[in-house]
């Protein structure tokens, strides 16, 4: 990718038979989790549980078919929270299965993608929850209150879960190592 081109250099060599051989060498920084193997597995488990729980709660909130979910200002942030959830899953898959030293591209596609996905879920979920609370307060006599409160609670749980895991994720440090 063009994003990581500064981390690589190409060495051109001419062989004895006249062929040009290009070797690509990584010259960027390396990153490593400051966790032992047990903590590393725990971190992967927590992130996997978060991904699955967020997706389950997202689907359950949508299945409630609440009146507020048909309002544009509630539906839009609710649907936008699906994209960071997919990126969170993608970031989780990109985390190496075993603890190892990572190049910047792997660090960016795993550690940083998870972090920014959690921020995206947190932002979209917060806007959805606040919009739904405003809708409940303004239309409390015209709506099915139990469905609406259920939708709001599911989104609030997604926000709290994402905030908790984001704090946990920020405590995990990836050390920068020179080549």
- Look-up of token digits 């596609």: 109
Per-residue confidence (pLDDT) for residue 161, from 0 to 100: 95
Per-residue confidence (pLDDT) for residue 1, from 0 to 100: 61
Per-residue confidence (pLDDT) for residue 179, from 0 to 100: 58
- Look-up of token digits 């898959």: 93
Per-residue confidence (pLDDT) for residue 19, from 0 to 100: 83
Q: How far apart are CA 136 and CA 76, in angstroms?
A: 17
pTM: 0.85
Distance (Å) of CA 142 to CA 65, 66, 67, 139 = 15, 12, 9, 5
Q: What does the domain layout of the chain look like in residue ranges?
A: 30-177
Neighbouring C-alpha atoms within 13 Å toward the C-beta of 35: 18
- Going residue by residue through the chain, which has 179 residues, state the pLDDT in tens, using 9 for 90 and above: 678 888 888 888 888 887 888 888 888 889 888 888 898 889 999 999 999 999 999 999 999 988 888 899 999 999 999 999 999 999 999 988 888 888 888 889 989 999 999 999 999 999 999 999 999 999 878 888 888 999 999 999 999 999 999 999 888 877 777 65
Tokens standing for 145? 């209150």
* DSSP 8-state class, residue 81: T
May I ask the CATH class of domain 30-177? mainly alpha
How many other C-beta atoms are found inside a 10 Å radius of the C-beta of residue 97? 9
In this structure, the strands spanning 30-33 and 20-26 are unpaired
Per-residue confidence (pLDDT) for residue 178, from 0 to 100: 65
């Amino acid at each position: 990718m063009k994003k990581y081109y500064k981390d690589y250099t190409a060495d051109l060599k001419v062989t004895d038979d006249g062929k040009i051989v290009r070797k690509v060498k990584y010259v960027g920084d390396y990153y490593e989790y400051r966790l032992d193997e047990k903590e590393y597995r725990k971190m992967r488990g927590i992130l996997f549980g978060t991904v699955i729980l967020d997706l389950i709660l997202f689907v359950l909130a949508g299945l409630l078919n609440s009146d507020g979910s048909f309002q544009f200002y509630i539906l839009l942030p609710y649907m936008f929270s699906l994209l960071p959830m997919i990126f969170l899953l993608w970031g989780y898959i990109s985390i190496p299965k075993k603890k190892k030293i990572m190049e910047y591209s792997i660090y960016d596609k795993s550690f940083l993608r998870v972090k920014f996905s959690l921020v995206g879920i947190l932002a979209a979920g917060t806007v959805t929850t606040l919009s739904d609370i405003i809708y409940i307060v303004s239309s409390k006599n015209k709506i099915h209150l139990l469905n609406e409160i259920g939708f709001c609670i599911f989104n609030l749980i997604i926000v709290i879960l994402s905030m908790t895991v984001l704090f946990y994720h920020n405590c995990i440090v990836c050390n920068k190592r020179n080549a």
